[in-house]
Chains A and B, each alone.
Chain A
Amino acid sequence: AQSVSQHNHHVILSEAASLELGCNYSYGGTVNLFWYVQYPGQHLQLLLKYFSGDPLVKGIKGFEAEFIKSKFSFNLRKPSVQWSDTAEYFCAVMNQAGTALIFGKGTTLSVSS
């Protein structure tokens, strides 16, 4: 069965620091990958997604992610975080049937000003 691992449970950064959150998936075939964010008290929102093509995907709010097939990874990056990026970040992969998202455990990002 497909699975997603997020290595960092809680990341604490100062404003302007660079961010990289790790995500690894288990399936070796064609994958469709997503990063969702959940700001405090709000619903899950899509940050970015990868279906095919350029492995470097740009999303909203200055986030980007790189799909590295050989490493089964889809890490999320942002060059300079802001206090408003404090949130829970979830990596997800679409299942093979295209009917369900399989999520990682999530990473809590705390940014201090």
Chain B
Amino acid sequence: EPEVTQTPSHQVTQMGQEVILRCVPISNHLYFYWYRQILGQKVEFLVSFYNNEISEKSEIFDDQFSVERPDGSNFTLKIRSTKLEDSAMYFCASSEREGYYEQYFGPGTRLTVT
């Protein structure tokens, strides 16, 4: 069964450094998403992406964040200058269509900012 994959599984970085989290969505999916979960809190939506454009973003997704689909298979989340409060589990998801279709989630990348 096709799966969303994410690398790395765990990333440790120092405050102020840039990080890039990588995701490979399911191959025939067109809509891509990033979510995050700070330890002990709920899973929060960051951004959705379609046709090489952001279709929606949350208040969390400020200028420090960016997303890109650099090639036909990868979908990346970049945090330009990490803060301690960016420490969280970051989940990538993809869906065939937007709206009322299942979003398939990857296993997550645990980001630790020290």
Residues of A within 8 A of B (CB): 4, 32, 34, 36, 42-46, 49, 51, 90, 92, 94-95, 97-106
CB–CB A103/B56 < 8 A: no
CB–CB A99/B98 < 8 A: yes
- Chain B contributes a number of interface residues (CB within 8 A of A) equal to 25
Taking A98-B99, A101-B45 as contacts, is the C-beta distance between A43 and B107 under 8 angstroms? yes
A-B contact pairs, 8 of them (CB 8 A): A99-B48, A99-B56, A100-B33, A101-B103, A103-B42, A105-B41, A106-B42, A106-B43
Chain B residues, CB < 8 A from A105: 41-42
Q: How far is the CA of A43 from the CA of B58 in the complex (A)?
A: 22
CB closest chain-B residue, reference A46? B102
Q: How far is the CA of A106 from the CA of B41 in the complex (A)?
A: 8
Which residues of chain B from 62 to 106 have a CB within 8 Å of any chain A CB? 91, 93, 98-100, 102-106
CB closest chain-A residue, reference B33? A100
Q: How far is the CA of A51 from the CA of B101 in the complex (A)?
A: 10
CB closest chain-A residue, reference B97? A98
B17: CB under 8 A from chain A? no
CB–CB A103/B107 < 8 A: no
A97 CB → nearest B CB, Å: 6
Chain B residues, CB < 8 A from A51: 100
CB–CB B100/A94 < 8 A: yes
CB–CB A103/B99 < 8 A: no
Chain B residues, CB < 8 A from A100: 33, 45, 48, 56, 58
Taking A98-B100, A99-B98 as contacts, is the C-beta distance between A43 and B4 under 8 angstroms? yes
Chain A residues, CB < 8 A from B33: 100
CB–CB B100/A32 < 8 A: yes
Q: How far is the CA of A102 from the CA of B12 in the complex (A)?
A: 27
- For the complex of A and B, list the 3 residue pairs with the smallest distance between their C-beta atoms, beginning with the closest: A98-B99, A44-B105, A100-B45
